[in-house]
């Protein structure tokens, strides 16, 4: 039953075929696929407030797969549940990762569940509040590095090498296996009709690698007839993969990363080679978007009532840019992955409206409502 309730273990024959008793789970996955296209003929008709997102994108058939609905609020739970299950099976005592915050929150949760110790390396002062709070609350040992994510990543690899602590960054093959479940669940929700495009935010490139692998596998098994084209979207200030793509992957780039989307503030992605193969295999592409474009797109998603963290909104910003450039056609079927929950980063891009604070009497309330305008009939 545990296995069937999990949107990861439900597909375990394609991920990690282990006996049901060995499985750790928080019933991860099972995330919503929101139809937000402007076209009312879309199989699942978009709610009025959601259609606005499709109009903003310029697409009649657009879907948002909200991975922020996972147990710890990000897509990382899909890979982490498999990584931690494997760590426990292999008898590890402690697991570790470097993180911009979501991986660490997920690692801390699943390690606690499995009775393992967790060690996380974070770039000091660069992790959003919600993610820090989760990581601490779940009881991880937290080390803040006076450096960026890329420095933390290098250090954790070395530490794991010399200490025998089990490394659970997306370099870990079992994490990648679990993350494939995003694609399997998505395809099932679409009745195994692959979309034309799959758009996702790209940082360390683990997710690009995992989704590419999942779609390849689904096609080899005859579950889908064609590979969706992957569009990996980077923040313009953290765009090493985009720089490589633009020159035909002639060489690998590294940059000093800078962006409001702290989750993808990564200058030297570890899964570069695998992600490159994926983009080439599916005739995909890499695009970059500016911080203002990310924040504008986030506001559109937030106002629609769904909400997401800044990095996730890079998808919508990227889609809008690609539609305007004529690369994504207005009638194509497009799915964007919203990778993280709104509450993860409760400060970036939240409107600072003047707070209305009034005396507790009806006259004051009436005056306030009059000033607000057309709330009533």
Residues in the chain: 377
The binder of ligand F0G chosen from 100, 239, 244, 268 (CB under 6 A): 100
The binder of ligand F0G chosen from 201, 240, 318, 349 (CB under 6 A): 201
Q: Does 341 interact with ligand F0G (rule: CB under 6 A)? A: no
Of 23 and 278, CB closest to ligand F0G: 278
The binder of ligand F0G chosen from 130, 203, 240, 267 (CB under 6 A): 203
Among 362, 314, 311, 335, smallest CA distance to 188 is for: 335
Q: How many Å is the Cα radius of gyration of the chain? A: 21
Q: Does 84 interact with ligand F0G (rule: CB under 6 A)? A: no
Q: Which burial class, exposed, middle or buried, applies to 91 when counting CB atoms under 10 A from its CB (0-12, 13-18, 19+)?
A: exposed
Distance of CA 236 to CAs 287, 319, 351, Å? 9, 15, 23
Q: Does 205 interact with ligand F0G (rule: CB under 6 A)? A: yes
Of 25 and 100, CB closest to ligand F0G: 100
The least CB distance from residue 90 to ligand F0G, in Å, is 22
d(CA 26, CA 163): 29
Of 60 and 348, CB closest to ligand F0G: 348
The size of the interface with ligand F0G (CB under 6 A), counted in residues, is 23
Of 74 and 244, CB closest to ligand F0G: 74
Read off the tokens for 46: 């978009």
Site stretch for ligand F0G (CB under 6 A), options 21-29, 56-64, 203-211, 297-305: 203-211
The binder of ligand F0G chosen from 31, 135, 339, 348 (CB under 6 A): 339
Q: Does 103 interact with ligand F0G (rule: CB under 6 A)? A: yes
Q: Which burial class, exposed, middle or buried, applies to 94 when counting CB atoms under 10 A from its CB (0-12, 13-18, 19+)?
A: middle
The least CB distance from residue 165 to ligand F0G, in Å, is 17
Of 116 and 176, CB closest to ligand F0G: 176
Among 58, 306, 23, smallest CA distance to 197 is for: 58
The binder of ligand F0G chosen from 60, 207, 239, 348 (CB under 6 A): 207
Please name the residues in contact with 102: beta carbons below 8 A apart, sequence gap of 6 or more.
72, 73, 74, 75, 76, 131, 263, 339, 340, 344
Contact 339, 200 (CB under 8 A): yes
Q: Does 348 interact with ligand F0G (rule: CB under 6 A)? A: no
The least CB distance from residue 298 to ligand F0G, in Å, is 12
Q: Does 204 interact with ligand F0G (rule: CB under 6 A)? A: yes
d(CA 371, CA 131): 37
The least CB distance from residue 122 to ligand F0G, in Å, is 9
Phi and psi at residue 233, in whole multiples of 5°?
-110, 125
d(CA 194, CA 316): 19
Q: Does 42 interact with ligand F0G (rule: CB under 6 A)? A: no
Of 6 and 134, CB closest to ligand F0G: 134
Please name the residues in contact with 131: beta carbons below 8 A apart, sequence gap of 6 or more.
100, 101, 102, 104, 105, 344, 345
Of 61 and 106, CB closest to ligand F0G: 106
d(CA 202, CA 205): 5
Interface residues with ligand F0G (CB under 6 A) are 74, 76, 99-103, 170, 201-208, 263-264, 309, 311-312, 339-340
């Amino acid at each position: 039953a545990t296995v069937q309730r999990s949107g990861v273990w439900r597909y375990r024959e394609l991920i990690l075929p282990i006996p049901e008793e060995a499985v750790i789970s928080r019933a991860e996955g099972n995330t919503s696929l929101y139809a937000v296209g402007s076209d009312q003929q879309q199989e699942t008709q978009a709610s009025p407030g959601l259609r606005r997102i499709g109009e903003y994108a310029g697409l009649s058939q657009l879907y948002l797969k909200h991975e922020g609905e996972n147990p710890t609020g990000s897509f990382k739970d899909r890979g982490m549940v498999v990584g931690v299950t494997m760590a426990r099976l292999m008898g590890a005592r402690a697991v570790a990762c470097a993180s911009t915050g979501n991986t660490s929150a997920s690692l801390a949760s699943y390690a606690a569940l499995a009775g393992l110790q967790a060690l996380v390396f974070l770039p000091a002062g660069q992790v959003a509040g919600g993610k820090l709070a989760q990581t601490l609350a779940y009881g991880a040992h937290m080390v803040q590095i006076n450096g960026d994510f890329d420095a933390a990543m290098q250090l954790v690899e070395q530490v794991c090498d010399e200490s025998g602590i089990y490394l659970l960054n997306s370099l870990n093959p079992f994490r990648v296996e679990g993350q494939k479940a995003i694609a399997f669940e998505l395809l099932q929700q679409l009745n195994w009709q692959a979309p034309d495009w799959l758009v996702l935010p790209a940082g360390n490139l683990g997710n690009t690698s995992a989704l590419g692998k999942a779609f390849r596998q689904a096609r080899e098994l005859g579950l889908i007839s064609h590979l969706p084209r992957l569009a990996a979207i980077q923040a313009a200030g953290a765009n090493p993969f985009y720089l490589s793509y633009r020159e035909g992957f002639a060489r690998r780039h590294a940059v000093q990363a800078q962006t409001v989307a702290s989750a993808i503030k990564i200058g030297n992605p570890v899964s570069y080679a695998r992600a490159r193969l994926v983009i080439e295999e599916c005739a995909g592409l890499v695009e970059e978007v500016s911080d203002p474009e990310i924040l504008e797109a986030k506001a559109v998603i937030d106002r629609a009532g769904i909400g997401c963290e800044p990095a996730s909104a890079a998808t919508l910003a990227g889609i809008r840019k690609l539609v305007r450039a004529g690369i994504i056609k207005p009638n194509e079927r497009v799915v964007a992955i919203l990778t993280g929950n709104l509450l993860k980063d409760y400060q970036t891009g939240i409107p600072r409206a003047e707070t209305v604070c009034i005396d507790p009497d009806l006259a004051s309330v009436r005056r306030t409502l009059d000033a607000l305008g057309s709330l009533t009939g």
